Amino acid sequence: MSETASRALPVQDARIYPRGGLDVLSRAEVARLRDASSGGMHELLRRCALAVLTSGSASDDPRAARDLYPDFDIQVLQQDRGVRIDLINAPAMAFVDGEIIRGVAELLFAVVRDLAYTAIELGPEYAADLESSAGITNAVFGLLRNARILKPTDPNLVVCWGGHSISRDEYLYTKQVGYELGLRGLDICTGCGPGAMKGPMKGATIAHAKQRRAKTRYIGVTEPGIIAAESPNPIVNHLVIMPDIEKRLEAFVRIGHGILVFPGGVGTAEEILYLLGILLHPENAHLPFPLILTGPTIAAPYFEQIDRFIRLTLGDEAAARYEIIIGDPVAVAKKMVAGIRRVREYRIEHKDSFFFNWAVQIPEDYQQPFIPSHEAMAALQLRPGRAVHDLAADLRRAFSGIVAGNVKEDGMRRIEEFGPFEIHGDGAMMQALDALLRAFVEQRRMKIAGEYKPCYRVVT
């Protein structure tokens, strides 16, 4: 390895040989990963690799790392006895005494593994397989199985959602909840980033150590458009990169046995609406799925706002699918354990697997990728009188578009070129949406640092 001293930030070259899940790649996979053309995978590989090599960054601008390390490159090469990865001008923060940090290397291997799988198994020649709901679910299953996420063990995986930009008190609360979950033998899955995605994992590590649990899972599920803004936190020991936000959300629902929601911003609101829309679908009416919204006492107003918005837009039926617990980590953990016990009983009775929730019905319009263009955002049907799960789907898309305008390169580029997205709809609904979004801005839930310039305009 050689140190490059000519750059403002220290960088390093490295040659590494993956192990454990990335022993071999086909020639076709390597060719796709090396393809630097406009339709190739190399630039995507470079962005995702840089995100994991800069894990721990405080920036939520996906272009920040690229600007700091403009000469970084990664090359994947096939050899007779395996795979070689060459890193050129890689961030020195990923190394210690000239050797890449083991956890960082594992996350890097996961990036190569998942993008190689996506390039072939979900490539253009298989596009027809992704035109049906069953085909999309099979694709999600295949990605998770290839990433070795699916384990035939007793249900114990809690998905934790919440913002990357939360207060110190809120972050400490997520750690306390994670600690109580860990003491009760539960593993953690999050969106893999900082804030509420890191805290539960950090708390659970201490609890798992106290309980002498050797085999623990801290699963991070992300997607290419957001990984640069929410780099994996260092506790993640199983990383999987889904191709888009819809497959990421489906993965959470398929592998999780219960979901906790901590304070967050628009991304968290998107996740809540996605899950509620699915649970409100008639075919899922009797499906047990514990959903708890929780935070410290100072977060009570936040959940009051969320609850008020949900009741106004989706009705009391939607609010009946979750429980709000404020300031009581022990109660949260006990309630989750009881909920997962019911999930276990239900799956035994209905002969559904513990490791992948086949029984939940996810409508195809929840699975098809939403491209947040200005035209698509303006065309959302945000009005009462629609089937509640259909309205929830469009509300979710509205928040998804704002997430894209905030932290995804394509969305940010659209906003810079054409101005803010316009969101139209029923007057009362738009007033409630505007009030909720204004509260997010005032509470600084949109950005980690800097002044927030809205990427949207609510038309009332």
Model confidence pLDDT, tens digit, residues 119-147:
888 877 777 788 899 999 999 999 999 99
One-letter amino acid for residue 268 of the chain: T
CA separation for the pair 134, 315 (Å, rounded): 30
Q: Beta-carbon neighbour count of residue 346 at 10 Å? A: 16
SS3 (DSSP) at 216: coil
Which residues belong to CATH 3.30.1850.10 in the chain? 3-121
Q: Look at residue 293 in the predicted model and tell me its pLDDT.
A: 98
Confidence class for position 3, pLDDT limits 50, 70, 90: very low
The confidence score (pLDDT) of residue 364 equals: 93
Q: What's the rounded Cα separation, in Å, for the pair 242 and 234?
A: 19
Residues with Cβ < 8 Å from 112, sequence gap 6 or more? 18, 22, 25, 33, 45, 49, 76, 83, 85
Q: CB count, 10 Å around CB of 189?
A: 28
The CATH number of domain 3-121 is 3.30.1850.10: yes
Picking from 444, 382, 368, the residue whose alpha carbon sits closest to that of residue 167 is: 444
Q: Residue 64 corresponds to which tokens in the numbers above?
A: 């920040």
Domain with CATH 3.40.50.450 in the chain: 139-349
Distance CA 264, CA 199 (A): 13
pLDDT digits (tens, 9 = 90+) for 43-63: 999 999 999 998 866 556 666
d(CA 13, CA 188): 34
* pLDDT tens profile 291-330: 999 999 999 999 999 999 999 999 999 999 999 999 999 9
Residue 6 has pLDDT above 90, yes or no: no
Give the tokens for residue 168: 């110190």
Q: What is 139-349's CATH topology?
A: Rossmann fold (3.40.50)
Cβ distance 203 to 329 under 8 Å? no
pLDDT digits (tens, 9 = 90+) for 209-222: 999 998 999 999 99
Cα distance between residue 305 and residue 436, in whole Å: 7
pTM, whole model, 2 decimals?
A: 0.91
Q: How far apart are CA 92 and CA 287, in angstroms?
A: 48
What are 325-370's pLDDT values in tens digits?
A: 999 999 999 999 999 999 999 999 999 999 999 999 999 999 999 9
**H or E stretch including 324?**
strand 323-326
Q: How far apart are CA 145 and CA 125, in angstroms?
A: 21
